[in-house]
Chain A
Amino acid sequence: MSGQAPEISSDVALVPRDLAPGVARLPRRRRSRHRPAWEEPPSRVGAVVKFVVLAGVVLAVVFPLWTVIVTSLSTQAETIRVGGLVTVPGELTLNAYRQILSGGIVTRAALVSTGVTAVGTLLSTVVSVLAAFGLSRPSSLWHRPILFVFLITMFFGAGMIPTYLLVSGLGLINSYWALILPGAVSAFNVLILRNFFMGIDNAILDAARIDGAGDWRILGAIVLPMSRAVTAVVALFYGVGYWNAFFNAILYINDNAKWPLQLVLRSYVLQGVTLPGSGVGQVDVASGAVTGLPIKMAVMVLAIVPILVVYPFVQRHFTKGVIFGAIKG
């Protein structure tokens, strides 16, 4: 940053470490801290503008989340005193969370979402990995026509109405399977995995084959352990898809006892609807807490938390997983 580095060429490691598999064995080293000699230092105005813009971008993401979290932890009285969202934490309490997690419709919705996400992600990931590996061996029987079957679905969707009629024809309305099966396989994710599998050195697989390993064994013992990062990224994509699924739920789930969290979020927080009691354990309406801002914000936080928990573990693989397979998917 400050001075100019004398040893430019060795230090400017612009090689896309994440892109080239061979480079991955080099010591973990990203781009240099130093500006190459030929590059002039930024003007003072330029540096300030750059800093302001980037800080603004970061703030635009962080600030809303901050207020949502702080408000969810505040007391109802605090929100009334401030007149809305709380930005500066005052008196903090976990009341809102205690209330929504004490077995009401929000609790149930969170469980539904968790279950659908877990089952769906597992199913989708397993099916996609298998398909990707099955299509990744060059010149295997029928792999071209089958690949074509996958590709077509990326360019032409069947449309909402026929899909809806199919799902209802299969009797899946109000069934959790309606949230899982229609979108269980994404051709795009299969291609990401397949491209990665195809990048694995054939010599390794040949060696295993000579040692007598079948395709199942090769996939389980060699390919999968080598592709943990991509598999994790694809699983995250699927998982986030299931967790966030909102429109499928609107279409296929009429019974609000079976609502996933996103639908509760919409009715309860966005539209401010008081949820109709669905028999057992409804949200504590009596105290008037339904309209309470902290509770609304707590529901929002509940919808974010799983993503925040998984995100850091998968995030560093994004470039590798996404770009490697997708840049020319």
Chain B
Amino acid sequence: MSIGQVVRRRGEVPDPVAEGAGAPAPSARGKIPVRKVSFAARLRRDGALLVMVLPAVVLLAVFAYVPMLGNVIAWQQYSPYTGFVNSPFIGWANFERVFSNPLFLDSVENTLVITAFQLVFFFPVPIILALLLNSVVTPRIRTTIQSIVYLPHFFSWVLVVTIFQQIFGGAGLVNQTLRDAGMGAGFDLMTNPDTFLVLITMQSVWKDAGWGIIIFLAALSTVPPEQYEAAACDGAGRWRRMWHVTLPALRPVIILLLILRLGDALTVGFEQLILQRGAVGSDVAEVIDTFVYYQGVIYGDWSFAAAAGLVKGVVSLLLVLGANKLAHVFGESGVYQKS
């Protein structure tokens, strides 16, 4: 391999993702004129790299892209016996069924209610915790707390729900304590549809609020201390410093996470809900994902469920794209750059 090839390797073309990561701008030396390389030469040069990418591409092609094509069954009267090829096409009938199905509309409503509730009561928690943690001066205490609160993120939903059941369930610790104190024993948070929203939000907070801190702490650590110093010199008190220095530093991250959340607006903790759907009933715990699961896998109405799932996927995609556009309008970078 010659030096000439090495030079050509240097990326003159800035890469969209690298740009997003805030990689240093290509240096002036990047202006070295590119000699045209023949396709065969490039293939020979980069062959090894292509071979490396191959396994991942094959896996994605089979397990991500083939199913995307498999969505054609949403327009079919699919039956496992006739298969994709021989099932008759029936136009938009399945989608019409989806939108006129009251259970589906209920599940959409439940999904949106849960998302909205979690946006208000879950989303701010990591920000507040990060600010609080950031104000802890002793490094050892700070890192210790961090490693403890990250931990539940790595537990499975089964485990989290089980822990909640052991503590808030009918035979749980809280009830047990109430009983010992002679205050009756009717307490069972796990099966009460009225408080289900609160319950699942508590679970989400317990599991993921700590983990959510990490990204805010990183953003906070990039604030130059001189800014605080200057603000303090100008007479800004603790709260004004937080308002004018800290929060602006967090703004891009907050917007980024809001966008991601919006894209996931139709996805609310699938495993979490399917685990508890039985205990509280489908009135409050049926979301779009669980609806799709029950209609398709349990009741075998494949085409109908695929149509419902497809609607969800497409709407989610539009939500992400729209939210990202909105972020650009507000001058933030969003999830991806315009390129």
Which A residues form the contact surface with B (CB < 8 A)?
Answer: 1, 8-9, 12, 14-16, 18-19, 30-36, 38-40, 42, 50, 53-54, 57-58, 60-62, 64, 67-68, 82-85, 87, 127-128, 130-131, 133-135, 137-143, 146-147, 149-151, 153, 155-166, 181-185, 187, 190-191, 194-195, 198-199, 202, 206, 209-210, 212, 214-216, 219, 240, 243-247, 250-251, 262, 265-266, 269-271, 297, 300, 303-304, 307, 311-312, 315, 318-319, 322-323, 325-329
Contact = CB atoms under 8 A, between A and B. Distances in A.
Contact of A16 (B51, B147, B163, B221): B221
Given A150-B56, A161-B73, A162-B73, 14 more contacts: A58-B149, A61-B148, A67-B173, A83-B176, A133-B52, A140-B49, A141-B46, A141-B50, A158-B64, A160-B296, A165-B67, A206-B9, A265-B156, A322-B215
Nearest to B34: A139
A247 B270 CA distance: 9
A14 B224 contact: yes
B55 A130 contact: yes
Given A14-B221, A33-B139, A162-B306, A137 B173 contact: no
A52 to B, nearest CB: 11
A139 B13 contact: yes
Contacts of A160: 289, 292-293, 296-297, 305, 309
Nearest to A159: B309
B222 A16 contact: yes
Task: Name B's interface SS.
Answer: helix
B145 A54 contact: yes
B194 interface: no
The winner among B6, B50, B166, B214 for most chain A CB atoms within 10 A is B166
Given A127-B56, A150-B60, A138 B296 contact: no
Interface string B112-141: 000000000000000001001101111100
List the 7 shortest-distance A-B pairs measured between CB atoms, nearest first: A138-B11, A162-B70, A158-B67, A244-B156, A131-B56, A134-B52, A38-B232
Interface of B: 1, 3, 5-6, 8-13, 15, 17-18, 20-23, 42-43, 45-46, 48-53, 55-57, 59-60, 62-71, 73, 80, 129, 132-133, 135-139, 143, 145, 147-152, 154-159, 161-163, 165-167, 171-173, 175-176, 179-180, 206, 210, 214-215, 217-219, 221-225, 228-229, 232-233, 237-238, 253, 256, 263, 270-271, 274-275, 278, 289, 292-293, 296-297, 302, 305-306, 309-310, 312-313, 316-317, 320-321, 333, 335-336
B87 to A, nearest CB: 11
Given A12-B225, A83-B180, A134-B50, A50 B147 contact: no
B234 to A, nearest CB: 10
Given A153-B64, A160-B289, A164-B296, A304 B59 contact: no
A138 B13 contact: yes
Contacts of A212: 1
Contacts, number: 336
Nearest to B83: A169
A225 to B, nearest CB: 17
B162 to A, nearest CB: 5
B31 to A, nearest CB: 14
Contacts of B157: 244, 246
Nearest to B307: A161
Contacts of B253: 327
26 contacts: A1-B138, A12-B225, A33-B138, A34-B137, A50-B132, A85-B166, A85-B173, A85-B176, A130-B55, A142-B50, A143-B49, A150-B56, A153-B60, A155-B321, A156-B316, A160-B296, A160-B297, A161-B70, A165-B70, A165-B73, A210-B1, A270-B162, A307-B151, A311-B154, A322-B215, A326-B215
Contacts of B172: 84-85
Nearest to A263: B158
